[in-house]
Amino acid sequence: MVAHDLPKRCLSPNPLDRGKTSPWNFAKSSPLSSPGPPSECSSARQEPGYCLLLALGRVLVFSIFQVNRLNNEGYYGGVRLLMAVCKVFYNYCRDNKIDLQGGNFTLSYDTNIPRQSGLSGSSAIVCAALNCLLDFYNVRHLIKVEVRPNLVLNAEKELGIVAGLQDRVAQVYGGLVYMDFSKNYMDDLGHGIYTPMEINLLPPLHLIYAENPSDSGKVHSSVRKRWLDGDKFIISSMEEVANLPLEGRAALLENNYTKFADLMNRNFDLRRAMFGDDVLGALNLKMVEVARSVGAAAKFTGSGGAVVAFCPDGASQAKLLEEACHEAGFVIQPIRSCSFLSKRD
């Protein structure tokens, strides 16, 4: 059994996950989480190569790949994410009287989502694992799709990861999703209202990121404190950010891509004004500046680490963007997107 999930891209992310937003996923990179057939013992194993070796002959070969992975990701990697989602899934089913029938399983993962690039790689692993659990226990029809982003988020909260629902909604639904996190919905339903949109409404987009990020803006941000303290500039800017998806949705429905590009740029400009250059980080700023140097619209995919760019002048401008990114040492890829929902959902 294999489940894939994708990194999220956000058209209009809100730093506090409030209001409305329109994220989407793309199908270039995907983590994999795979419960295997029933075995004598249940386990969550850290390295996919290690799992294969165990299955083939119980022989451990410590490869250079594994050493490099430990150097980059530490000793925990994603195995703690798998353990957390198993716990959250079990507790939810127990509390909602969902009977789990089935044998034991193994659970492993692999991912090619770039690290430290603001593409929600951790929650993608959790979401893929959740999909495997839903199918392994045949309970997909018993756990509403609107609830699943909460389960993913709760698994990450188990590990002290501070996050919001936006990315998890994008990864559960896939494709292009309009989200409304209005307070009355969150209070009454426990989740927002999520409306899938036709993916062909999107123009051609590109993802830009640094292959080996060393600067993602390490200065502590005071924006949250200023919001809680009632800072008028922060509050008014947040309100404008929350309204951008309303305009963005209308622009997409009307095929008004000039307006769409303006809104992308406005989103980044508001974030920069609120957080400041020291918080955003020089590398993040450079990615946006490179894109804008050829006239492309550009903004962060989330809180930084990667940039989504749109070339309103078409293929010739996209070619200039690719050349500028390569010259600056950035990776650039065209974005492909797909929905994850099926009739069972």
Question: Is the pLDDT higher at 160 or at 23?
Answer: 160
Question: Is the pLDDT higher at 17 or at 338?
Answer: 338
Catalytic residue (choose from 167, 180, 188, 313): 167
Q: Answer yes or no: is 313 within a domain.
A: yes
Q: Answer yes or no: is 226 within a domain.
A: yes
Q: Answer yes or no: is 27 within a domain.
A: yes
* Strand order through the sheet with 32-35: 3-4, 32-35, 106-110, 43-44
Asked if 53 and 141 sit in the same domain, the reply is yes
Q: Is the pLDDT of residue 13 over 90?
A: no
Provide the residue type at 345 as one letter.
D
Residue that finishes a domain, picked among 172, 200, 228: 200
Asked if 166 and 235 sit in the same domain, the reply is no
Q: Given this model, what pLDDT does residue 342 score? A: 75
In the chain, which ranges are continuous DSSP H helix? 48-57, 64-73, 79-95, 121-136, 148-158, 166-173, 183-189, 223-228, 232-253, 257-275, 277-280, 282-293, 315-328
Q: Is the pLDDT of residue 15 over 50?
A: no
Asked if 87 and 167 sit in the same domain, the reply is yes
Q: Is the pLDDT of residue 3 over 60?
A: no
Cα three-residue angle 282-286-263, rounded to 5 degrees: 115
- What Å distances lie between residue 190 and 84, 123, 151, CA to CA? 21, 19, 12
Q: Is the pLDDT of residue 256 over 80?
A: yes
Looking at residues 151-164, what average pLDDT do you find?
91
Asked if 115 and 223 sit in the same domain, the reply is no
Contact 165, 180 (CB under 8 A): no
Looking at residues 71-96, what average pLDDT do you find?
84
Question: Is the pLDDT higher at 37 or at 230?
Answer: 230
278 is catalytic: no
Alpha carbon distance 124, 3 (integer Å):
11
Number of domains in the chain: 2
- Joined together, the tokens standing for residue 60 give 């451990």
DSSP per-residue letters across 203-242: PPEEEEE-SS---S--SPP-HHHHHHTT-HHHHHHHHHHH
Q: Quick: pLDDT tens for 16-63.
A: 444 555 554 443 333 333 344 333 333 443 333 333 333 333 334 445
Q: Is the pLDDT of residue 98 over 80?
A: yes
Question: Is the pLDDT higher at 221 or at 150?
Answer: 150
Provide the residue type at 327 as one letter.
E
Burial of residue 169 (number of CB atoms within 10 Å: 0-12, 13-18, 19+): buried
Residue that finishes a domain, picked among 138, 173, 200: 200
| Residue the block writes with tokens 């209308």 | 250
Q: Answer yes or no: is 345 within a domain.
A: no
Alpha carbon distance 139, 141 (integer Å):
5
Q: Quick: pLDDT tens for 261-289.
A: 999 999 999 999 999 998 999 999 999 99
Rounded to two decimals, the pTM is 0.77
Residue that finishes a domain, picked among 149, 178, 200: 200
Looking at residues 168-189, what average pLDDT do you find?
91
Asked if 174 and 34 sit in the same domain, the reply is yes
* Position 71 confidence tier, pLDDT thresholds 50, 70, 90: low
Asked if 259 and 296 sit in the same domain, the reply is yes
Provide the residue type at 194 as one letter.
Y
Asked if 214 and 191 sit in the same domain, the reply is no
Domain that holds residue 318: 201-334
Alpha carbon distance 291, 330 (integer Å):
11
Alpha carbon distance 252, 256 (integer Å):
6
Q: What is the CATH number of the domain that holds 7?
A: 3.30.230.10
Asked if 223 and 145 sit in the same domain, the reply is no
